[in-house]
Amino acid sequence: MRGREGPPKDSMTRRDLLSMVGKAAGGAAMYHAMSTLGFAAESTYAGPIQLQGAPKGTTVLVLGAGVAGLVAAYELRRAGYRVKVLEYNKRAGGRAWTIRGGDEYTELGGFKQRCEFDKGLYINPGPWRIPYHHYGILDYARRFNVPLEPFVQVNYNAYLHSKHAYGGKPQRYRHVQSDYQGHVAELLGKAVNSHQLDASVTKEDQDKLLESLRAWGALDKEYRYAASSATSDRRGYDVDPGGGLMPAAVPSQPLKGDELLRSGLWKYLADGSEYEYQSAIFQPVGGMDQIAQAIYRQVKDLVQFHAKVTKIDQNNSGVTVTYVDANDATGVPHTVKADWCLCTIPLSILSEIDVTVSQPMLDAIHAVPYEASVKVGLQFKRRFWEQDEQIYGGITYTDLPIAKISYPSTGYGHPGKGVLLGAYIWGPNAYEFTAMTPQARVQEAVRQGATIHPQYLETFETGVSVGWHRVPFTNGCFGLWTEQARRDHYQNLCRIDGRIALAGEHASFIPAWQEGAVLSSLDAIQRMHARITSRA
């Protein structure tokens, strides 16, 4: 659910700002800025919660069987509450969703897709990676025996690409990183040697700085960044060292500093340094839905699918929810009552439902827009990225509208077919893509991707696309808070309003991540439990 790239040329996204902060002031400053903007916060999860003393027979209605709703249902029943869950979809997990061969999906507007991937292949249109510091979601994976495997975020053999640089030819990530680092080290080395730092750095420290710059930037004895075995040990050789009577190693030629600076490819280098993307990063074996499905198996008798909520009402004695069967064209209304309600419906949907809550909570529900995003999964006849280009996992970044190509972090070396993420699109480009039919989006992702991997054209077989602002159960990807909106509305959104509380990634400081949904859910049900027991 995260990873925005490709802003309009004349605008600056928050991620652009954060990257600039990181380059100029370091990771700590960038993390502080991310926390302020609501993009990053270390998980506060401290282990399984213990809810003691639930009044016998107390009922709680949970709306939504995404990660937040499933966690709430499991923990509330474990505490002794009588729980029922209403879910719009025919499956649990919400945005923790994996699409496999045979799956069908109909988006707003009526476009229907059937995934034709081969058995064992899949795409995660929502969350696709779990940082090591997302302790809550990882603990549920551990508790329910969901196996994990590494997710490769940074692959130094993948590509960085700009249609305006190097004639549109993609450059290896390791080339750009090594050369950018080397040229920066050379410039700073020149400044030290010309005594321009005398006023702020002692002679002894200057010597140490020069020594460190030589090591960091692979500079020669004259503090120049030039082709050598030292630079090639970073960026790779034109002819790799061999054995026996094989040809002698040939160092590679670094990219010129001025061209590299103008290319803009350096802007992608900070991605792997961001707190959320630092190793280790994980993915569930077999698809991101595996954790949600594992929790669902604990509470499946509580979940009613195809329940489209149309009204949420409350009074001093309880909550009444009206819903219709999403598969029933007659729209016959049904009602269910409970003592308390935890609503995990995305605000983009909840804002369209008649809800009996205070004006401050209503204002908060309507204050948060949802981001647009598109993912495209592509199946190929063979894993050419491994066989031809030695790319095993990781991400290629481009300034084309497709923004990213992510290679599977599983099935390495498999001789058969493979699926990669052929596009991960945000902002205006996402709207442009979803103006097309799903199949046209797939074809456009293939066309653009072929400028980086010509093998696309001869090996592509089938694909599937998900535009999140056209997904019926979310109308968007995640809650897009601003600093002002958080100041004005966040507390009111999270407070228990009468007998209703809200939870989900939108009610957290880790938006767009499953961890935000987990923490929000646990916080809400603990506060609800405290209120219930205080009244008992």
Ordered structural domains, the chain, with CATH = 41-88+290-368+481-535 (3.50.50.60), 99-156+279-287+371-470 (3.90.660.10), 173-263 (1.20.1440.240)
pLDDT band at 17 (very low <50, low <70, confident <90, very high): very low
pLDDT tops 60 at residue 28? no
Residue identified by tokens 């993420």 is 421
> Which one, of 410, 418, 409, lies nearest residue 387 by Cα?
418
pLDDT tops 80 at residue 375? yes
504, with CB counted inside 10 A (0-12, 13-18, 19+), is: buried
pLDDT band at 412 (very low <50, low <70, confident <90, very high): very high
pLDDT tops 80 at residue 18? no
In three-state secondary structure terms, 198 is coil
Question: What letter would DSSP give residue 80?
Answer: T
Mean pLDDT of the chain: 91
pLDDT tops 90 at residue 244? no
Beta strands in 67-193 (DSSP E): 82-86, 99-100, 104-106, 112-114, 122-123, 130-131, 148-150, 159-161, 171-172
* pTM of the shown model: 0.88
Alpha carbon distance 457, 407 (integer Å): 17
Which position has the higher pLDDT, 186 or 419?
Answer: 419
Alpha carbon distance 191, 205 (integer Å): 14
In three-state secondary structure terms, 202 is coil
- Name the least confident of 60-74, 133-147, 259-273: 259-273
What backbone torsions phi and psi does residue 292 show, to the nearest 5 degrees? -60, -40
pLDDT band at 195 (very low <50, low <70, confident <90, very high): confident
Rounded (10°) angle between helices 289-299 and 135-143: 60
Alpha carbon distance 292, 288 (integer Å): 8
What pLDDT does 38 receive? 46
The share of the chain scoring above pLDDT 70, in percent, equals: 92
Question: What letter would DSSP give residue 435?
Answer: T
pLDDT tops 50 at residue 26? no
Per-residue model confidence as pLDDT tens digits over 264-287? 999 999 888 888 898 999 999 999
pLDDT band at 398 (very low <50, low <70, confident <90, very high): very high
pLDDT tops 60 at residue 35? no
Per-residue model confidence as pLDDT tens digits over 421-443? 999 999 999 999 999 999 999 99
Per-residue model confidence as pLDDT tens digits over 455-507? 999 999 999 999 999 999 999 999 999 999 999 999 999 999 999 999 999 99
Long-range contacts of residues 381-386, Cβ cutoff 8 Å, at least 24 apart: 381/417, 381/459, 381/460, 381/461, 382/415, 382/416, 382/417, 382/418, 382/459, 383/411, 383/414, 383/416, 383/417, 383/418, 384/453, 384/455, 384/459, 385/418, 385/420, 385/453, 386/412, 386/413, 386/418
The share of the chain scoring above pLDDT 90, in percent, equals: 81
